[in-house]
Amino acid sequence: GRTVVVTGSASGIGAATVAMARARGATVIGLDRDASASDTIQVDLVDEASIAAAAAALPERIDVLCNVAGVPGTAPDQTVLAVNLLGPRHLTQLLRPRLAGGAVVNVASAAGAGWPALLPEINELLATTTIGDGLAWFARAAPPADAYSFAKAAMTVWTARTNWDWLPDGPRLNSVSPGAVETPTLADFRATMGPALDRIGGLVGRFGRPEDIAAVVCFLADPASEWVKGQDILADGGFHGARATGSL
Ligand code: NAI
């Protein structure tokens, strides 16, 4: 069977991804701050030493890395940037030799869909190489977006760029950008977005379920999608159509 590593495995979209990948026959190893579940390795994605220790505990061959762990915009800016972008970047770079020919799937967010307008600042951030340097750049530069949207936008850009840099042997990288999904995080979005969140949920009929996103992650993890590379798939129940009307 295939070996799949999933960060954020203890909750929400990560937990749904673990369950779906296992049901399809993969050997799944979780990585999370909360390592109470079986087959889970403890990691704190803000800390390079912790990431290195977790990487050392993983097998020599890995078919798929799913970077799902994240924290909402209600967390401190530095934590948001580290957990949602800089830590997963570090982990992916460490695991790259073991992932040759395989796939990386990153969970970004619909909140990052405005990345083209932020490209100059994102590229400045991506020019840093360590978590510490990335955080120092963010504190200094104060880019024109909140930390969550900026980190998610940068995740989408980093995915496409790194896929390009690592061609042709890979691993290939793709991302998924969820709209609002019913997990413990939804309460945080309600706090930051206010009534707009429930209005969006009403317009598209329902909020996403963790399985809605896990299905896209599993598709991008599967060899059947191997010609899809450096792509972002927006899974938001159709709300992107409101942008296409030009009324947003
Ligand atoms: P969740 O809160 O249910 O799960 C997040 C997991 O990440 C938890 O198990 C947590 O322990 C882990 N985690 C947090 N900080 C960590 C750290 N420092 N080191 C290691 N693990 C850590 O969240 P949910 O909703 O399942 O989110 C998963 C991903 O989807 C996140 O990247 C989130 O930003 C993204 N997303 C979620 C949306 C939603 O509406 N729920 C919408 C768009 C994106």
Residue 118 corresponds to which tokens in the numbers above? Answer: 């932020």
- Six token digits for residue 34: 């909360």
CA of 33 to the centre of ligand 1 (A): 11
When mean pLDDT is compared across 63-72, 149-158, 238-247, the lowest value belongs to 238-247
- Asked if residue 14 has its Cβ within 6 Å of ligand 1, the reply is yes
Mean per-residue pLDDT, 166-170: 95
Region 178-199 average pLDDT: 93
pLDDT of the residue at 230: 98
| Average pLDDT, integer, range 197-226 | 96
If you average pLDDT over residues 5-12, what whole number do you get?
98
- Mutating to test ligand 1, I would choose from 107, 155, 197, 236 the residue with most ligand atoms within 8 A of its C-beta, which is 107
Neighbouring residues of 114: CB distance < 8 A, sequence distance ≥ 6: 145, 149, 153
Sign of the CA dihedral running 81, 85, 87, 89: negative
Tell me the CATH class for 3-179+209-244.
alpha beta
- Residues 109, 193: contact at Cβ < 8 Å? no
CB of residue 109 inside a 6 A radius of ligand 1: yes
Domain definitions of the chain by residue range: 3-179+209-244
Mean pLDDT of the chain: 96
Which ipTM was obtained for this model? Answer: 0.99
| Whether pLDDT at 248 is above 80 | no
pLDDT in tens, 82-118: 999 999 999 999 999 999 999 999 999 999 999 999 9
Residue nearest (by alpha carbon) to ligand 1 atom 4? 11
- Active-site residue (options: 115, 137, 138, 148): 148
Residue 244: the pLDDT is 84
* Percent of the chain residues past pLDDT 70, beyond the cut: 99
pLDDT for the residue 246 = 79
Ligand 1 pocket: which of 32, 51, 67, 200 to mutate (most atoms within 8 A of CB): 32
- Token pair for residue 227? 């010609």
CB contact at 8 A, 218 and 189: no
Q: Where are the beta strands (DSSP E) in 58-179?
A: 64-67, 103-107, 172-178
pLDDT confidence bin for 243, thresholds 50/70/90: confident
Listing DSSP states for 159-199 in one string gives HHHHHHHTTTTS-EEEEEEE-SBSSTTHHHHHHHHTHHHHH
Please give the pLDDT value at position 174.
Answer: 99
Q: Is 69 in the pocket of ligand 1 (CB under 6 A)?
A: yes
Residue 147 makes CB contacts below 8 A (sequence gap 6+) with: 73, 77, 80, 81, 138
Of 20, 33, 193, the one to substitute when testing ligand 1's pocket (max ligand atoms within 8 A of C-beta) is 33
Question: Does ligand 1 come within 6 angstroms of the Cβ of 147?
Answer: no
Annotation marks residue 148 as catalytic:
yes
From the number of C-beta atoms within 10 Å of its C-beta (0-12, 13-18, 19+), residue 223 rates as exposed
Decide: 236 in ligand 1 pocket, CB within 6 A.
no
Q: Are 194 and 167 in contact (CB under 8 A)?
A: no
pTM: 0.98
